[in-house]
Amino acid sequence: MLVAGAVALIVIGAEVDQWYSHRYAEEDATVADKADDKVDAGKDPFVAKMSVAMDDSYAHESWALPRSLTPKERQRLSRLIGAGEDPEAVRRAIWTVVSDAGARRIMGAAAIYDLQVTSERKNSVVVTRITAEATRCWKPEGKVWISTGTGGLEGWEDISFDLKKGVEAPAMETTGDPNNPSYERFEDVISVGGQQTPGFIKVLPFAIQKSCEFKVNLYYNVNSGKTQKKTISEDEKGEKLVFHAAPMGVGVETWTWIGGDNFDVAVQ
């Protein structure tokens, strides 16, 4: 009987030890989870990065020069030796001439930024709305505007904004026939956190006859909580977000390529 009782006590003791071990393990796991949650809550909800989408080597199709063309530059543009009828060859030939003159690539593809949103949070972070707002606008700078009149943005941008100073413009997306597009409000959400990482969204700001600095507002929530806002006003290099329009006004000289080595040249 004593042996049986001793065995029973040993079994009971083992079960008690197991119960305590399990309980303390659960408590330790709870403490660890709370510590992880605290660390997670200390992280930025997300990181948003804006970068110029167009590669530095791309010639583009529209350029603004800060000064008038020299006689030698006019001659080189008028000839475009070897360019022929190929639009891409023409663009490269023009860029070779005007880049040395301090030209800036403007509008179209040159205005597009890549927006990427990432998060290290384990909880879900959702960007529910995107807007843009012009913070400063000015008359476009330049003495000469050169354009090949080719190329375009069909299918390039994911969202676009009509910049207006002091007004939050909602993100819009192009829908319908690319040759006759319509524009609708961008209603999609961006989900990050929980190991979700989307690709780039292409952002196209535009303003009629103005160059503008602008900012992009991202409205978001964490775990379906209160809506908050993050604002981006600089690109990844620390430079202001800017849309450069074509120079307009009295005295601006325009060169429009019309085929071969021919330009339609006019002074506004």
Neighbours of 258 (CB within 10 A): 10
pLDDT interval class at 211 (50, 70, 90): very high
Average pLDDT over residues 62-86: 82
Q: Which residue has the higher pLDDT, 42 or 259?
A: 259
142 and 259 in a single domain? The answer is: yes
Give me the mean pLDDT over the 72-94 stretch: 79
- 218 with 151, same domain: the answer is yes
CA separation for the pair 263, 147 (Å, rounded): 9
- Provide the domain count of the chain: 2
Residues 152 and 220 in one domain: yes
Same-domain pairing of 118 and 23: no
What local confidence, expressed as pLDDT, does residue 58 receive? 86
**What band does 19 get if pLDDT is binned at 50, 70 and 90?**
low
Same domain, 119 and 26: no
* Same domain? 201 vs 107: yes
Are 113 and 38 contained in the same domain? no
Question: Do 144 and 175 fall into the same domain?
Answer: yes
Distance, in Å, from the CA atom of 187 to the CA atom of 166, rounded to the nearest integer, reads: 22
Query: What confidence score (pLDDT) does residue 120 get?
Result: 84
Q: Report the alpha-carbon distance of residue 254 to residue 258 in Å, rounded.
A: 12
Q: pLDDT band for position 112 (50/70/90)?
A: very high
Beta strands in 180-252 (DSSP E): 182-185, 190-192, 201-206, 211-222, 228-232, 242-243
Mean pLDDT of 162-175: 88
Q: What is the pLDDT of residue 153?
A: 44
For helices 71-79 and 87-99, the axis angle rounded to 10 degrees is 170
Query: Structure tokens of 255?
Result: 């060169």
The pLDDT score that the predictor gives to residue 35 is 58
- What is the sign, positive or negative, of the torsion defined by CA atoms of 98, 99, 100, 103? positive
Same domain, 103 and 168: yes
Token output for 190:
């961006």
- State how beta strands 211-222 and 242-243 pair: antiparallel
Q: Is 115 exposed, middle or buried (0-12, 13-18, 19+ CB in 10 A)?
A: buried
76, 188: one domain = yes
Helices within the chain (DSSP H only): 2-41, 71-79, 87-99
226 pLDDT band, cuts 50/70/90, is very high
Full 3-state SS string of 53-89 = CCCCCCCCCEEEECCCCCHHHHHHHHHCCCCCCCHHH
Average pLDDT over residues 55-79: 88
Question: Residue 24 has what pLDDT?
Answer: 59
Q: Do 155 and 85 share a structural domain?
A: yes
β-sheet bridge partners, residue 131 = 170, 217
Structural domain range at position 217: 47-267
Q: Is the pLDDT of residue 215 over 90?
A: yes
Segment of 34-43, 78-87, 118-127 carrying the highest mean pLDDT:
118-127
Higher pLDDT: 161 or 5? It is 161
- Predicted TM-score (pTM) of this structure: 0.76
Percent of the chain with pLDDT over 90: 29
Using a CB cutoff of 8 Å and minimum separation of 24, what contacts does 171-177 make?
Answer: 171/129, 171/130, 171/131, 171/132
Distance from first CA to last CA of the chain, Å, rounded? Answer: 115
User: Do 51 and 21 reside in the same domain of the chain?
Assistant: no
